[in-house]
Every structure is written in C-alpha cells, then in structure tokens.
C-alpha cells in the first residue's frame, strides 16, 4: 500500500483566479480532485494538505472518509512536512495538486522503480535547445544531459520524513532535499511521455482543459427507478403535466415519479448521489416542491460538470389511467423544461399485468435511462 501526499496549500497568485487555482473548475471538477480521484482509483491512501482558507470549500468534494485532510504551513516545505507526519505506508508519492494531468501509466512506472530504489524522480525530456546566459554571454548546453522535474516524486517514507523533520533550508523540490541528506544514494529517473503540466499561469487552465477533455469519458449512462403510492385528494402529475384521474401520487414534493426517475438517473450518471442527497424529504423547504424545478436544477448541475443530455428513455408503469393519449404532451413538457429537442426524449407507458401494488392500482412507478455526453 502506498500513500499519495497531495499538496494543495499554495496561494497560486500567478494563475490570476478569483479563488485558489486548485479549486478552479475544469469541466465542473476542481483541479485538485483530478489527482485525488486518480490516486484513489489506484488504491492509494490519500493525505491532502490544504490551505486553511480553502478547507471548507474542499470538504464539499471529499466524501471518502479515509482521506486525511491536513492544514498546510507557510511554505511548501512546511506543508509537505506536516503531511508526512500523517503517512502510515512504507512509500509515499508527493504530488502537487496543480498537476491534474498526471497519468495512471506514469504512477505505475514510478511504482516499478520503487522496487529497486528508495527515491524516484518523474521527469520529462527537454525538447528545446538549452542555453546558459550569464553576464550578457550565451553558451550552448547539451539538452540530453538535463531533464525537467515533475511530480509525483516517490520515496521510502521513513527516509524522506527524516530529511524533512531535520531540514532548515529551502530546496527546489523533494528530490533536492532527499539528495542533500543522502548524497551517496542513486535516484531513479522515470521519463514521462504524457502531458503533466503544472498549472501556473492563466493560459495553463486552457491547456489542462484540452488534455482532460480528450482523456475524460465522452459519455456516461445513468439509471433510476422510482415508485409512489396513489392516494385520494392529490393531483396526478407526470412529466410536469396534470393527468386527469381520481387519485394522485403521494410524496413530500408534488410526487412526479417520472421526473424523479429522470433526474436521479442524471445524478447517477455522474456519480453525484440520489435525489435524497439534494432534496431530503425531512426538509420542510422542499415540501410540495415542483419536480419540474428539481429536474431543472439537477440538469444545471449536469451542465456545470460539462455534460448534456444525449437522450432520455423512460417507462411509466401504471394500470390506470391510460397514458398513451398523454405521451406526446409529456415528451414536449420534459424537452421544454431542460431545453433539449423533443426527439431526445422517449416516454413509454405500460401496465403491470394486474400484479403487485401497481397492478392493483395502488401505485405508479417510473424507470429511466439517461445518456449524458461531454459538451
């Protein structure tokens, strides 16, 4: 087991954003979460070092209770040292959260190198001609003799922690500190062939967005099923329109079971949770809330994440009333709510062959599958 110590405590003033650069959203996801999600997917423990001013905002995105959040110090070195105190695994990967493009392949190559070395530097080759400029004089250097350092940089935990706890100087990076304390040891160098820029300036966000857009899933699929009891003295609302019937659906909201299924399928496609996460039936604020409003707000979240509807395919299960005469109106209603073409909305209706609560006219259910595609 390894730990990723992700440093997200810097100010990032050169990025010229109104918030910390690690909170800047790319496709609706803050920069720091790209690294967190990648390391989690590879089975790493996570120690996330953050600035105190960003703590509350960062906690909005951290749902995995195993992630340790540590307040950083005044300098990067102090932040890394504070994070290292929380590392419990034999090896630690120290990574800058401002590098959201780091790839799975790069991390796996570092892991291989750790089998033979106690320190590993991830780096990239120089592609431009390298010159030394001093006092108005220029001389050429061989670019083959140099590499550019990247993160993560990986270490035997006890060694890098020892170095940091006894350090009182400033070094360019973690490898430099390690070499100062262990000058006779060989550092393994892994050449990274994939983009791994550190976001520093405003245009870097555009570069990161370009590569993340190519890497991220172009399509996501969500599914949901919902059922509500039929009762007297309630209007029957399906797909945002009122259907003539002697009974309506029981619920904390207007109980539009069809819109609930569609909205929850959208949330599920992006792993955002269920409707209860955002609209708990214990909150009086949402008493009798329109499900049309719920669908619009959920779709706004989807758009913020950089996705839009590819198509919706839903089925309503009801013994009565007969819904086929209303299908076109329902499709038009849903399409209008979220401003998509009607041909992206498929609504079907069927009975339950007189079985169970639906067949006994005690309930109506809906099932929805939603395809989302990258904008």
Same domain, residue pair 224 and 183: no
Taking residue 112's Cβ as centre, other Cβ atoms within 10 Å add up to 11
pTM of the model: 0.62
Half-sphere exposure of 168 (CA within 13 A, CB side): 1
Same domain, residue pair 223 and 157: no
Per-residue pLDDT at 136: 83
Number of domain units in the chain: 2
Per-residue pLDDT at 27: 80
- Structure confidence at residue 159 as a pLDDT band (50, 70, 90): very high
Peptide bond into 27 cis (omega under 30): no
Last residue of a domain, one of 196, 215, 234: 215
Same domain, residue pair 91 and 34: yes
C-beta separation of 5 from 49 below 8 A: yes
- Residue 71 sits in which domain range? 2-215
Same domain, residue pair 188 and 260: no
The per-residue DSSP string of 79-133 comes to HHHHHHTT--SSEEEEEETT-TT--HHHHHHHHHHTTT-SEEEEEEE--S-EEEE
* Residue 11 pLDDT greater than 70, yes or no: no
Last residue of a domain, one of 215, 245, 274: 215
Per-residue pLDDT at 29: 86
Same domain, residue pair 83 and 144: yes
Same domain, residue pair 21 and 146: yes
Last residue of a domain, one of 193, 215, 237: 215
- Structure confidence at residue 64 as a pLDDT band (50, 70, 90): confident
Same domain, residue pair 332 and 205: no
Give the C-alpha separation, 273 to 261, whole Å: 13
Note the pLDDT tens digit of each residue in 94-141.
Answer: 999 999 999 999 999 999 999 999 999 999 999 899 988 888 899 998
Q: What percent of the chain has pLDDT over 90?
A: 75
Angle at 279 between CA 276 and CA 284, to 5 degrees: 120
Same domain, residue pair 200 and 229: no
Collapsing DSSP states into helix, strand and coil, what is residue 152? coil
Note the pLDDT tens digit of each residue in 204-236.
Answer: 888 888 888 766 667 899 999 999 999 999 999
Collapsing DSSP states into helix, strand and coil, what is residue 305? coil
Start-to-end CA span in the chain (Å): 37
Same domain, residue pair 96 and 173: yes
Phi/psi region, residue 298 (left: phi>0; alpha: psi -120 to 50; beta: rest), is alpha
Question: Angle between the 257-269 and 327-337 helix axes, to the nearest 10 degrees?
Answer: 50
Mean pLDDT of 239-257: 95
């Amino acid at each position: 087991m390894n730990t990723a110590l992700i440093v997200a405590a810097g100010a990032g003033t050169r990025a010229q954003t109104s918030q910390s650069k690690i909170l800047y959203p790319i496709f609706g996801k803050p920069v720091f979460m790209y690294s967190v999600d990648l390391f989690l997917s590879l089975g790493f423990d996570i120690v996330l070092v953050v600035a105190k001013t960003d703590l509350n905002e960062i906690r909005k995105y951290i749902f995995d209770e195993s992630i340790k959040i540590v307040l950083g110090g005044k300098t990067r070195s102090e932040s890394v040292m504070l994070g290292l105190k929380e590392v419990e695994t034999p090896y630690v990967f120290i990574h800058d959260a401002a590098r959201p493009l780091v790839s799975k392949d790069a991390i796996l190559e570092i892991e291989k190198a750790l089998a033979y070395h106690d320190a590993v530097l991830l780096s990239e080759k120089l592609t431009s001609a390298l010159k030394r400029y001093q006092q108005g004089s220029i001389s050429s250097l061989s670019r083959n003799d140099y590499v550019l350092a990247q993160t993560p940089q990986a270490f035997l935990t006890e060694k890098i922690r020892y170095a940091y706890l006894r350090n009182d100087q400033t070094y360019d990076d973690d490898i430099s500190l390690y070499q100062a304390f262990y000058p006779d040891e060989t550092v393994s160098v892994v050449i990274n062939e994939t983009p791994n820029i550190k976001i520093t300036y405003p245009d870097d966000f555009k570069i990161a967005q370009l590569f993340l857009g190519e890497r991220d899933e172009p399509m996501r699929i969500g599914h949901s099923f919902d059922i509500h009891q039929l009762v007297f003295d309630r209007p029957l609302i399906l797909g945002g329109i009122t259907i003539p019937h002697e009974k309506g659906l029981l619920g904390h909201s207007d109980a539009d079971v069809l819109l609930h299924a569609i909205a929850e399928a959208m949330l599920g496609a992006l792993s955002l949770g269920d409707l209860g996460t955002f609209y708990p039936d214990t909150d009086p604020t949402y008493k009798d809330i329109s499900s049309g409003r719920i669908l619009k707000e959920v779709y706004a979240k989807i758009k913020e994440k950089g996705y839009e509807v590819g198509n919706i395919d839903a089925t309503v299960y009801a013994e009565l009333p007969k819904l086929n005469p209303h299908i076109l109106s329902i499709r038009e209603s849903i399409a209008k709510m979220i401003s998509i073409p009607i041909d992206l909305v498929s609504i079907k209706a069927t009975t339950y062959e007189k079985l169970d609560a639906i067949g006994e006219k005690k309930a109506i259910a809906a099932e929805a599958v939603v395809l989302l595609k990258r904008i």
